[in-house]
Amino acid sequence: MQDKVKVFKALSSESRLKIVRLLKEHPQCVNAIAERLGMTQSAVSQHLRILKEAGLVRGLKRGSWMHYEMPVESLDKCGRALAEVFGVRIRPKKTTDGSLNCPPSLLRDCRRKTPGGRTTKGGKP
């Protein structure tokens, strides 16, 4: 029961719901989320902490930067919690690995690995 409470509390914030919607697209760094939502980095980090504690997002270390994603298992966890409370079955949508969506102004600072495994710096292979 406590897990469900954490999930519902985590999803009870409009800001966290917006973050979840962005992370459903593909993994993103705190800076990208902050810029897209017009929030401070510290506010985004606090919201991500709550989502992470509820088991809805996970961090991926990419170079010296942390990117966050909402894996399919998290969507399934939300669906199971809703199904139990409301007596309905929700089937999670499968996600695909997308490219990182850091704002162009931040790409030069964002180190990441490309899908092919090459390390890039600032978006340049």
Q: pLDDT (tens digit, 9 = 90+) per residue, 28-78? A: 999 999 999 999 999 999 999 999 998 899 998 888 888 999 887 777 777
Q: Compute the distance between CA of residue 7 and CA of residue 114 in angstroms, rounded to an integer.
A: 32
Q: Using the predicted structure, report yes or no on whether residue 108 has a pLDDT greater than 60.
A: no
Q: What's the gap between Cα 63 and its chain centre?
A: 18
Instruction: Look at the chain and report how many structural domains it folds into.
Output: 1
Q: Could you list the residue range(s) of the whole structural domain that residue 46 is in?
A: 2-98
Kindly state whether residue 28 falls inside one of the protein's structural domains: yes
C-alpha triplet 100, 101, 104: angle, nearest 5°: 120
Question: In whole angstroms, what is the distance from residue 58 CA to residue 70 CA?
Answer: 7
Q: Has residue 110 been placed in a domain?
A: no
Could you tell me if residue 114 is inside a domain? no
Distances (CA, A) of 110 to 5, 16, 28, 61, 64: 35, 23, 11, 11, 8
